[in-house]
Structure 1
Amino acid sequence: MGYGVPDSGVDFCYVTVYEAHQLMKNDKAVFVDSRDDDDFKTTRIQTSFHLSANSLIMKAGGAEKGLVQQLVDLVNSGKTLVCLSDACVKGNINRGHVSRCRHIAQYLVEMGADRGRIVRMTGGINAWKKAQLDGILGDLRPMYAGAIQAADFEPPKEGREEEEGDEVRPLRGEARALGNGGYAAVAPELAPGLQVEIQGLVSRADLNGKQAKIKEFVASSERWEVELLDETQERVRCKATCLKASGSTPPAAPAAPLEEFVEVGCGGTPGDGGARDTCKVRFVPPRPFSQDRPTAYRALKTDLYKKSTKESDKIIKVTRPVGSTVRTTGELFVGGAGGVWAELDVMAGEKKGCSERGLST
């Protein structure tokens, strides 16, 4: 098999980039990038650990033992380990060779990780970029064979990640979304409890200019239901483009976002008699596709610090497991003492507030 790892002859189960994205945003996964050092420095997915396949034979002592043990422990604690490379090519269509991410996956099994909790991400980091999912650090263009490619690049036929009949589909369903990435877009600045001004209506032009309060998002019609702030208290449904935030502050404790769930792959055993395992997770809408705007961080220590609002001077200590994922909106700001804070993503299940320190992208 190469790289100093014996080939078991059995591949691993696969997840799509959309499934991997949901696993990340639900703190259910650990990402491991198997590409070379220069590739990883040029472009990567947020929160990814780096374990280069080449390092297993090209560096004295091979892979860093502490990192390997940390990954094995995270997998055996119940996390799904998502292995990725440029394209995560399947061995039977890769000129007889085995993908770097499969090398690393098999290596971690040899080191004691549960095979049933390790998956490979179909299409690799290039498919993540093509789907325009949030969380890319570095160059947004495709990368193949150690070089940045044009935005419309497609790998050679023998290097494609899909087999005949394969189809990677977004997790659409009835779920609302905040960004792009194959999901229906909804303006991210709108939220239940926010006061807005109605504008641009044609069939109900009499409502234009009136103040209203957002009640909820109706996924089936992709419209916000609002309640007029007058004696009628009439409720109407409007597109996001017909609502303008009036500047009023939402209530201190706004209604929790509607929870919607999707089923995603999280492991399993391929081959005869095997099956892909799935789990149900909260659907977390993707944030806008943007360079170097992390929306997830890894906790480097158990003690983290947060405050309830940007303006608050009160800082509290919270405890999170090392290696867990802290989900954010991508918004950063500098506090009064000069510290950089990240706004937590309530849509991903985080409690409202901002977090600082002890985090890594």
Structure 2
Amino acid sequence: MHELIASPFLDEYLLVRPGARGGLRLPQAGYEELRTHPTKQTAPTWFSDAVRSQWTDLDVAARPAAEYLLVREPSGWGYSRASWEINLGCNYQCKHCYLGLKVNSGMPLEDKLRCLDIMAQAGVLWLQITGGEPTVDRDFMHAYRYAFALGMMITVSTNGSLLWRENLLALFRQYPPYRVTVSMYGANKHSYDELTQRQGAWDLFIQGMNAARRARLPLRMSVIVTEDNADEEQAMIDLCEGWGLEYNVFTNMTPTIYGGAESLTAQSKEHLRLRKPFSGCNAGHTFFHTDPHGLVSICKIGRDAQISLPTEGIDGLARLGAIADRLMLRTGGCSGCQLSGSCTVCRPLAKHYQEAKAPLSSYCQHGIKKAG
């Protein structure tokens, strides 16, 4: 299996290494030379020199290119990133979860692999596999290997409860992920089990983290601050720093993807933070989201007007850009807003808050100004 990937990425060409953070920009002429280079021969000298300069532990000068290099073909679709909910099922029942009900349902393996083929054809280089909890899905390992073989740099978003399993660790050793992002729900057993609503969840988390750190997985922590663990924010940060891991802190809860308000009850009002002004994004244009049934939307939040990859194939993506532009228009309660230029949430997220009848102060400048 490949150790390096040369791939188009938007208007650039990249050389990346699974399991590694750094990479190289390739000139178009260099990419084209690699794409047409006989794979049974050694790579050009400039290439092996560049590899050795970037990754000192990797010497490819005397090896046939086919042994270690995968060159991704150009795509006319212009997508570079995607996220995929392999399943909404989860072994936790977290109070704050934006997915709402955790339902174990989805596509058969054949359709999952077909969707991955289409993602690769669309140009996706960076793939986030999420859920629910992705590692509980019966097809996770097979789908992960398949996505890796297609030349994707994979991030797995997980609660970490199963990272102690040897079959998962062996999978990640053989096919290194770009990143494993682990959500953290507390700094002690009581608060962690309370938020996840599962007895023993903390013990599984610590067991998984110990195993993942021993295996030197490329970990990044998502510190989730809620009403249940609000007094432990610094303790959770201290744990991450003690482990020597990167982390991001998330404090603002969002409604469920169905517009439900049940997840908002987990919000710690003291930790509600004013978001930065929304300056636009490329959702639907260079990025898309796929749900467990192969339905594509512009992102995890804006799920209106979904496109079925198993039914429509890659040609269905031609409609996604227009859907994105329509969903970003100010409608409903946001029509004619005089503060829209500095709004802190995108229109699809504002719609979810409105459907959930959330307090304006949780997402809108009008509410924030009034509260102040």
Q: Does TM-score exceed 0.5, indicating one fold?
A: no
Higher relative contact order at CA 8 Å, sep ≥6: structure 1 or structure 2?
1
TM-score, length basis structure 2: 0.31
**Higher strand fraction (1 or 2):** 1
TM-score, length basis structure 1: 0.32
